């Protein structure tokens, strides 16, 4: 026996999702609530309102996530904007070459700031080890960043520049730990790299 549906697949999918959501006892959450409200505003030709609702919903959702680093890569030069960078092809550096790292941070907490603004604050600790795990350098608050704006940001990024001039050729591991000062929580990430003599 085969079933034939006369309604379009999109309409059927929407009906099934709607039925599932109406039967689900779980609270929707900020992201789904924002999406529903944004769809309503978009249907009323209020693109500006729809965008702002989605942006606010995504910001609220981001703060509900664990502190995390979605992206951390070695880059060839200082980034121009969020995700506007040139990644280094291989994590291999000539002795004396500076290590520039592009870092995105998600899950930051925001708090009220003067002049009706919002603010986040995080620091970055540094640990450099050789390939056997021996600590060669350690620095708390290698980076200290405060972001202040008129709303909670969702595209938070920075770059970290490390000068390892004087280090011998070999394999190393660069370990950064991001610390959310407001929420008092941390998350580490590691970037292995190799130093080679200048040719």
Tens of pLDDT, residue by residue over 112-156, are: 999 999 999 999 999 999 989 999 999 999 999 999 999 999 999
Tens of pLDDT, residue by residue over 12-27, are: 334 434 544 444 444 5
Q: How far apart are CA 104 and CA 93, in angstroms?
A: 22
pLDDT at residue 4 is higher than 80: no
Domain 72-196: top CATH class? mainly beta
Tokens matching residue 139: 């620095």
pLDDT at residue 7 is higher than 50: no
Where are the domains positioned within the chain? 9-64, 72-196
- For every residue of 104-169, DSSP letters joined together read EEBS---EEETTTEEEEEEEEEEEEEETT--EEEEEEEEEEEEEEESS--S-EEEEEEE--TTPPS
CB-based contact 166:191 (threshold 8 Å)? no
Whose tokens are 């040139």? That residue is: 86
pLDDT value for 198 = 83
Tens of pLDDT, residue by residue over 54-110, are: 999 999 999 999 999 999 999 999 999 999 999 999 999 999 999 999 999 999 999
């Amino acid at each position: 026996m085969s079933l034939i549906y006369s309604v379009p697949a999109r309409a059927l999918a929407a009906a099934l999702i709607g039925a599932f959501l109406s039967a689900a006892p779980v609270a929707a959450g900020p992201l789904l609530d924002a999406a529903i409200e944004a769809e309503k505003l978009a249907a009323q030709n209020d693109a500006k309102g729809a965008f702002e609702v989605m942006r606010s919903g995504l910001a609220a959702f981001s703060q509900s996530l664990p502190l995390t680093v979605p992206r951390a890569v070695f880059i060839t030069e200082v980034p121009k904007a969020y995700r506007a960078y040139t990644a280094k092809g291989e994590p291999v550096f000539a002795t004396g070459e500076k290590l520039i790292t592009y870092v995105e941070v998600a899950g930051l907490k925001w708090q009220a700031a003067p002049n009706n603004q919002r603010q986040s604050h995080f620091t970055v600790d540094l640990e450099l080890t050789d390939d056997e795990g021996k600590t060669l350098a350690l620095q708390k608050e290698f980076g200290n960043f405060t972001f202040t704006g008129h709303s909670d940001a969702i595209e938070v990024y920075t770059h970290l520049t490390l000068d390892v001039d004087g280090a011998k050729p070999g394999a190393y591991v660069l370990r950064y730990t991001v610390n959310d000062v407001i929420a008092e929580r941390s998350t580490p990430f590691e970037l292995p790299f190799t130093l080679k003599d200048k040719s």
